[in-house]
Structure 1
Amino acid sequence: MTKTLTFNELRKIKDSLPHGSMHRIADELDLKVETVRNYFGGYNFKEGRSAGVHYEPGPDGGIVVLDDTTILEMAQHILAEQQEKIV
């Protein structure tokens, strides 16, 4: 399932994640942590790989098309857990 959002929206999700979330996502999905970071806009392809993310220039940081939303869904799940702890 593909999803389109702005780069700034994707970065906001990444920046909202609690410390250690990149490692947690990587561990649970059996990925390298650099691959997860690349998903959120990183560019370390020596240690990680591309994660099916395509960038197009434009307003609000440009458009991001995600070929696979698994990492995004996991990040949103972690954010929901954080919200539950606050309430």
Structure 2
Amino acid sequence: MEKKITFNELRKIKDSLPDGAIRQMAQEFDVSVATVRNYFGGANYREGKAVGIHMEPGPNGGIVLLDDTTILDRAKELIKAEAV
């Protein structure tokens, strides 16, 4: 499922994750930690893979088109669970 989100919104979600959440998601999805970070706008392609994000310049850091929202959805779940 594709989703458009601003880069600033995507980074805010990443910054709101509880400690250890990136490592947890990497284990859950059987990918490297760098790959999860790349999903949130990182660019470490030596250790991580490209994850189907496409960026366009614009306000709020630009628009990011996510090809797959699985990691984003899990990140939101982890943030919500932390808030309870």
Structure 2 residue 61 is the aligned partner of structure 1 residue 61: yes
Q: With the length of structure 1 as denominator, give the TM-score of the two structures.
A: 0.95
- Alpha-carbon deviation of 1:31? 0.7
Residue 56 of structure 1: how far off its partner (Å): 0.4
SS at match of 2:55: strand
Matched, 1:12 2:12: yes
* Structure 2 gap ranges (5+): none
C-alpha separation between the residues in 2 aligned to 1:40 and 1:81? 20
Aligned residues: 84
The one-letter amino acid paired with 1:9 is E
RMSD: 0.5
**1:6-27 deviation per Cα after TM superposition (whole angstroms, max 9, x unaligned):** 0000000000001111100000
1:67-78 aligned within 5 A? 67-78=67-78
Bigger helix share: 1
TM-score by length of 2: 0.98
Uncovered stretches (5+) of structure 1, i.e. residues with no partner: none
| Alignment partner, residue 24 of structure 2 | 24
Moved over 3 A (4+): none
- Which structure is larger by alpha-carbon Rg, 1 or 2? 1
Distance 1:50 1:21 in 2: 19
